[in-house]
Amino acid sequence: MMPSKTKKKGNGNIDVALKHFNQGCSMLYDFHMFGALAHGASIYRMEKTPFPANGWAAVCRNGDIFCHPKRRAEPEEWGWVLAHCLLHLGMGHFRETADARLWNLVCDCAAAKFLADMKLGAPPEPFLDAPPAFGTEEKLFERLYGKEPPKEYLGFGTAGPGQTDMIFNQDGDQNQGRGTDWQAAFAMGLGEAVRVAVNTAAGVGEDGNRILGSGRYENRISRAKEWFISSYPLLGAVAASFKIIDDPKLLGRMDISIAAVSPSLCEIYINPHAALHEEELRFVMAHEFLHAALRHDVRCEWRNAYLWNVACDFVINMWLAEMGVGERPEGALYDVQFKNMSAEAVYDKIAGDMRAYLDMDTFGGFGAGDIVPGDPGWQKRDGAVGLDDFYRRALGQGLAYHQERGRGYLPAGLVEEIRALAHPPIPWDVELARWFDGQFAPVEKKRSYARASRRQSATPDIPRPNWVVPQGAMDGRTFGVVLDTSGSMERGLLAAALGAIASYSGARDVPAARVVFCDADAYDQGYMPPEDIAGTVRVRGRGGTVLQPGIDLLLRAKDFPETAPILIITDAMCEARLIFHGREHAFLIPAGAHLPFVPKGKVFRMR
């Protein structure tokens, strides 16, 4: 539901009409019977929508409700109008008939009669309270078909005199949602309202029906969580440590459509008004637990956060479908082309069509991811285990127990990721050593009698060959270094980078390297032997991070071999462009990714 936000007029006074409208929306959102319907619908109150000119509101079959932006009414009256529109959805009124206008009139009577019996809200003037009893909509339609409708059945529509308030075909529907089953959502709301009424009669207050992190009362959300603890060991330890938040008002302020998770706060947010049955809840909760346990929040790094969230959703939903955990809700992201792919691989693939995938819908809602950032809480206390260690242990122990007891199939990709979490990341200097090993094979020395060994002078009558490097073996044995010298690079990191480059160059028989310092401009140091790199070097720069000039300098240098690898060392994400075969290519330089169009190129982020 998307009510307009309250705004102030020029004189500083609150717009009372808008305030009453928002209060009417909130009344339905908090009402158990209409909560699930209101959650799935989108309510608009603005000039650029097809609102009824002489009425109050009209509803589309996809859940869009267009309200008159200048109507003034009390909150109870707006509540009545909006509930009337929602009932058209929940009662299944959008169906094809022989007379659409008469059918709309009959449905208006049914909605008005229901609201009068429930005593919900107050009909605005000049609406009547309710029509006379008529049975079902189908019977009234048959009775009035082909006749002039009596006056007692007229005037209950919210679109104004002579207008229909159900829009069957609206071009460019603004809500391209996940295919909400409106009748199922209404049935769930009715069941919730009955349960609350029974509990109230039994002396149990409304707060007793919500978990709010305490877990004191049983409901379908708490039962789904308890299932993981008791019956699914892989995620049992993770589920036991999470606090569940299902306060509709809080989730409304956070704009969470179905569910979200905060890995740093160990909180999972479940919208109780989402039309999910218990099996779908298990799927959604397992989805959020895996987001947290696999550290998708910190693995995002340089990537677009929402696109990364979408990529992780594809991978997790594929795993859960293979594992048979719960039932995948309709509209959840799922594509078989991403089977057996990691989240990083899926991201790289969908990044080529970013515009299409940015329109995807996660459990968090349209344009909003379901991974909520937050500052760590309990794990900051002295002696508390860190988040990485906690999730690593919880998943590792759960995996061992799950496999020992034979509790069900686990995809190979998920098992691989869980085991990968058990190993700390490889330090940057180790990765740098591997890079040198891959670029520069050991120089194979040969014995040569053309150059005498030092021992030859002691025994001149015994010829002894010396070890020599074949001519041409050292040709092209060099590389370029673009070193980020911006202000974000600490001096200690700069020293460590220069020392590591010098050490590895000397150990792998690299006679010289082309060194370029770069921040917002390039500072060419020319070819430097390893001992000079390790010595006293005056580092230039310390401005902003723009590595493009350094790359351009190396690529255009006539004395720099075209096949020589380029090593870029930076502590932050940056943008660069390359000219290759006359074409310009733009890309982002991430940590640990191969540079396109630079032979053997590699990027390192100092950690």
60-89 confidence digits (pLDDT tens)? 988 899 999 988 889 999 999 999 999 999
Q: Which of 239, 235, 213 is nearest to 225 (CA)?
A: 239
Give yes or no: residues 21 and 155 share one domain.
yes
Give yes or no: residues 553 and 513 share one domain.
yes
Where in the sequence is the domain holding 92, given as residue range(s)? 16-188
Q: Is the pLDDT of residue 587 over 80?
A: no
Give yes or no: residues 363 and 223 share one domain.
yes
Helix (H) or strand (E) holding 43: strand 42-44
Give yes or no: residues 465 and 485 share one domain.
no
Mean pLDDT, to the nearest integer, of 141-166? 89
| Within a domain: 10 | no
Q: Which of 382, 308, 394 is nearest to 347 (CA)?
A: 308
| Within a domain: 433 | no
Instruction: Report pLDDT for 109.
Output: 92
The one-character DSSP state at 14 is B
Instruction: Report pLDDT for 78.
Output: 92
| Within a domain: 155 | yes
- 297, HSE (Cβ side, Cα atoms, 13 Å): 23
Give me the number of domains the chain comprises. 4
Residue that is written with structure tokens 């349209």 in the block: 366
| Within a domain: 197 | no
| Residue ranges of E strands in 156-257 | 166-167, 243-245
Give yes or no: residues 167 and 292 share one domain.
no
Q: Which of 230, 242, 281 is nearest to 258 (CA)?
A: 281
Q: How far apart are CA 264 and CA 378, in angstroms?
A: 9
Give yes or no: residues 484 and 462 share one domain.
no
Q: Is the pLDDT of residue 249 over 90?
A: no
| Within a domain: 162 | yes
| pLDDT band, residue 457 (cuts 50/70/90) | low
Instruction: Report pLDDT for 201.
Output: 59
Q: Is the pLDDT of residue 577 over 70?
A: no
Q: Is the pLDDT of residue 512 over 70?
A: yes
| pLDDT band, residue 519 (cuts 50/70/90) | confident
Give yes or no: residues 38 and 173 share one domain.
yes
Higher pLDDT, 299 or 179: 299
Helix (H) or strand (E) holding 429: helix 428-439
Of the listed ranges 142-146, 298-302, 312-316, the one predicted with least confidence:
298-302
Q: Is the pLDDT of residue 594 over 80?
A: no
Give yes or no: residues 158 and 25 share one domain.
yes
Q: Is the pLDDT of residue 598 over 50?
A: no
| Within a domain: 195 | no
Q: How far apart are CA 603 and CA 592, in angstroms?
A: 5
Express each pLDDT in 183-221 by its tens digit: 888 887 887 777 766 666 555 544 444 433 333 334 778
Structure-block tokens of residue 215: 């877990």
Helix axes 305-323 and 412-421, enclosed angle (nearest 10): 120
Model-wide pTM > 0.85: no
Give yes or no: residues 464 and 545 share one domain.
no
Give yes or no: residues 487 and 463 share one domain.
no
Mean pLDDT, to the nearest integer, of 135-162? 89
Residue type, 315: V
Q: Is the pLDDT of residue 575 over 70?
A: no
Q: Is the pLDDT of residue 30 over 90?
A: no
Higher pLDDT, 489 or 533: 533
Question: Which positions ≥6 away from 510 have C-beta within 8 Å?
Answer: 440, 477, 478, 479, 504, 530
Instruction: Report pLDDT for 111.
Output: 92
| Within a domain: 1 | no
Of the listed ranges 139-143, 261-265, 487-491, the one predicted with least confidence:
487-491
Q: How far apart are CA 512 and CA 531, in angstroms?
A: 9
| Within a domain: 194 | no
Cα torsion 186, 188, 191, 192 to 10°: value is: -100
Instruction: Provide the CATH number for the domain around residue 561.
Output: 3.40.50
Give yes or no: residues 67 and 143 share one domain.
yes
Q: Which of 469, 504, 535 represents a domain boundary (last residue)? A: 469
Q: Is the pLDDT of residue 225 over 80?
A: yes
Q: Is the pLDDT of residue 174 over 60?
A: no
Give yes or no: residues 72 and 140 share one domain.
yes
| pLDDT band, residue 460 (cuts 50/70/90) | low
Higher pLDDT, 592 or 46: 46
Q: How far apart are CA 576 and CA 203, in angstroms?
A: 67
